[in-house]
Structures are given as structure tokens and as C-alpha cells.
Structure 1
Amino acid sequence: MAVMRLQPVDGFVRVDAAGLLDGRQALVVLAPHPDDETLGCGALLAEAAALGVDCRVICVTDGHRSHPGSVLWPKPRLVAQRRKELADAMARLGPIEVHHLGFPDCAAPDGGPVVAQVSALVPQGALFLSTWSGDPHVDHQSCARLADTLARSRPDLRHLAYPIWGRLRPDLPFPATGFRLCADRPEKAAALACHESQMTGLIPDDPDGFTMEPELQRLFLTEPEVFLAP
């Protein structure tokens, strides 16, 4: 079996939460699915919350398609579970406000009325994070476009992107510059463990359902978090 590796980011600027925030008193993470916020920004959220920063997570979809073949976990039960997982995960990271937009999994919007809906949840002058446009997932790309549209209409914001699945794809190279932040924090590990439906065998009756391999989980918990200028 091939050893999993994330794209190298040694040349990126090493920062902590205070450095990335650069005096901003609000941090907003736009997450396509419950767990993306922890995988991509869990350490940053924990550090920022500890600094007293106003931290918010906006989850765009309900994540119900992770186990489409399960009989034991039909859509309403899985949606409720993933909402609970996100709430539990954020409680491990600190005082973080959570908002659910409730769009269907794999149908995240990239424009229209949702832009104003999201903008209303983003405080003035916030550091605004979204998934990277290069991520090979339709919802991640849609959220990147949505965030870019919002950021263009809000010059008060600082918009950066966090890659998830693109970190595993050397054929999708990152921009030449970016920021890296240490991810090795116990709060992030505790938060990721809360996403049981995605990280464990909680759902036993869908062999084709999504479960992140333990090796990949370890990489996201030990390799730096990455933030790119869109």
C-alpha cells in the first residue's frame, strides 16, 4: 500500500493564529460539510477562540450523502447525527458559533441569494476562510466560488482558502506562496474524534460509504494547516 503524503508546504510562511488574524477580531469558516472545518481549520479555530476572537462556522450542506446505501442510517438520522457531531466538535475547540444553511450534500450553491445570507453572518473586518477552488469536490469548488463572490463585494474582509482533498493531489499544485499553521493541538484531535460518522465505523451497513482512513486522519492532525490566497 502506498504511503499517504500531503503536498509539501515547507516554503510557506509559518504563522500562529494571531499572525494570521493580524488584529482582526472575527474569524469565519465557510465549510461545505460537517468535518471540513475541523480538518482544515481546527487548530486555527482553537487558537483564535483561546484569544477571545469571535469565531463562527457556517456549514453549507447537510452531509447526508456520505453513506447513501445505509438502511440503519436514513437521511434524517444521518443529518441529525452530523449536526450533533459538528456541535460537539466545536465545543471541543472553544466558544464557536455554528450556523447551518442546510443545502443538500453535493448541491452547495455558488451564488444567488445565498451570498447575502452568508454575508449577513460575517462580521465587519473578519478573516473569512473557505475551501480552495482547486479541491476536487463539487461542494468545495462551489463554496470557493461563493466565497470569492462575497469577498469581492466586501473589501473589509480578508479572504483565504484552505485545501482539503487538494492536499493529496500533487497534480494540483498550490500557489507559490501561502501560510502554514501548526495543527498538532489536542483540541483539534478531540474535535475530529467527534465526527464519528466520518472517522469511525459507526455506520456498519454501507461498505461503499465514506470513512476517512486512520493514516489520513493522522496527517491532518500532525501536518500544518494551510491557507492560500485565492
Structure 2
Amino acid sequence: MPDTTLPFADYPLRPSIFAAALGATVVIAPHPDDEALGCGGLLALLHQVGQPVAAVLVSDGSMSHPKSVLFSTPARQAVRTGEFRHALTILGADQTEPLLLGLPDGRVPGQAQEPGFLEAVAQLRRFLERHQAATVLVPWRRDPHPDHRATSQLVAAALLEMTQPPRRLEYVVWAWERAAPADLPTPTDGVRGFRVDVSAVAAQKQRAIAAHRSQVAPGVFTDDPSGFLLSEEMLAHFAGPYEVFFEAADL
């Protein structure tokens, strides 16, 4: 059984009203379900206090069940995008049309020389500026999944191009399950970790996670039994009363 606390249980706990200070917020999800898993509670809290939320989906999400014949790549993408939209509705973050970058699942570009990187950076910058984002929610820079790390690089590049970049909060997904010591913050990162109390919206978050039906239980992509499903152990990390974030220590 994996350790469900890691060092996170020792982080200071901020009350749910913390959401009110974040202003207009944009959540960046590498895959459909990361928005619900990593920060679904905070998104629900933002809706409760009337802060506008917009969403970006980075990858096309098509590679969770790559061997499916009944569902073509575009069909798998459509299913997962639909689940993403459903989850946003449950969390109250569906007032604005999300930005769908449609980058290849499993091969999100993380460097300027990679195809699609510069175009995606430009789209992200324009989206953040259009929505006058005060805060951006993005995966932790060393979250142990290549698409999550690449997404962090895309957002970092977009923020560098902005004259007034938003506050950057980094959420964890795979760091709960797979983090090596080097994947967690070090003194040279210049970040601090904290928890946000999401107990008041925990049931809402669980409904949003469940909206990603193709990822949490068999029965959607039925002809690829070797496809990806979130394990019960993994899901347990996101059933608790708080979410974990990192931010620059000087903020």
C-alpha cells in the first residue's frame, strides 16, 4: 500500500476561503481528469465565491486505450473531451469555452525545438491574457509524468512572454503515487508547499472525478482490456479533505 501522505501532511493548511483571494483563474490540465484530480476541490471553491474560472486541455487524451478498434483515435478524443466538459460542469467551471490544444497524448512538447511547442505557448499566452487571469493552476514542474512536466514548461514559457504574468500555483497528481525524492521540492526550487481545505466540496470533487468514466471503471472502451484505468489506490489520494499546491516562496 503506498504512503498516502508523503511529506504533504506536514504542510500548512489554508482555509477554504483562500479561494476568494485568487481572482480570475485558469486551470491547465495535461489530460482530461487532471483538473478534477489535482485541483477539483479548489475549482469548486472558486465557483462558490464567484471567481471566474477558465480551463485549458493540453493533450487530446486519446492514448489511454490505444488498442481500441471500436473507438478510433478521434472517437477516443471525443469521449475524453466530453468527460472533461462534464467534469467542468460539475465543478461550476464551465461558464467559458475551454481551450483545447489537442497536442498528442504521451508526446506533449516540452521544448522550443519540438513541433507544436511555440504555437501552443502563443495560444496559452493569448488565452491567459483574454481571460485576464490573476492565477494559473498548472501541474507541479516535476510531477512524474512526461506530459505533466511538458505542460509545466509550456506554461512557464507563456508566462515569460507576459508583462503581468498571473500567480502560478502548481498542483500534484502523480507525485502522490510515483514521486522519487528528487521529484519533490528542494531548497533550490524556491517554492513552498501548502494544503487547501476542500472538505466542504469533497463530494462535488468526487462526482467530477467519476465523470471521467473511461478512466475510473471498465465499460467505456470495452475492447482494450489492457488500457489505462486509475487504480483504487491512486484514487484514494484524491478522496481526502485537502489538496496540495506549491508556489514561489516570495509570494
TM-score by length of 1: 0.90
Residue matched to 2:113: none
Unaligned 5+ segments in structure 2 are: 111-116
Residue matched to 2:207: 190
Give the C-alpha shift of residue 63 in structure 1.
0.5
Give the C-alpha shift of residue 113 in structure 1.
2.2
SS of the aligned residue for 1:222 comes to: coil
1:106 aligned onto 2:121: no
Give the C-alpha shift of residue 4 in structure 1.
5.2
| C-alpha separation in 2, matches of 1:136 and 1:170 | 8
Query: Which one is further off, 44-53 or 131-140?
Result: 131-140
Residue matched to 1:150: 158
Residue matched to 2:218: 201
Residue matched to 1:25: 23
CA RMSD of the aligned region, Å? Answer: 2.0
Contact 1:92–1:190 under 8 Å retained in 2: yes
Cα 1:182–1:18 change in 2 (3 A) is closer
| C-alpha separation in 2, matches of 1:214 and 1:10 | 20
Residue matched to 1:163: 172
| C-alpha separation in 2, matches of 1:228 and 1:175 | 12
Cα 1:10–1:118 change in 2 (3 A) is same
Unaligned 5+ segments in structure 1 are: none
SS of the aligned residue for 1:65 comes to: coil
Query: Which one is further off, 66-75 or 35-44?
Result: 66-75
How many residues are matched?
228
1:124 aligned onto 2:132: yes
Residue matched to 1:70: 68
Contact 1:151–1:159 under 8 Å retained in 2: no
| C-alpha separation in 1, matches of 2:218 and 2:61 | 17
Q: What is the CA deviation profile of residues 190-223 of structure 1, one whole-angstrom value per residue up to 9, with x for unaligned ones?
A: 1011000111102232232100012321221215
Cα 1:30–1:17 change in 2 (3 A) is farther
AA at the equivalent of 1:107: R
Give the C-alpha shift of residue 89 in structure 1.
0.8
Contact 1:49–1:95 under 8 Å retained in 2: yes
1:181 aligned onto 2:196: yes
1:212 aligned onto 2:230: yes
SS of the aligned residue for 2:50 comes to: coil
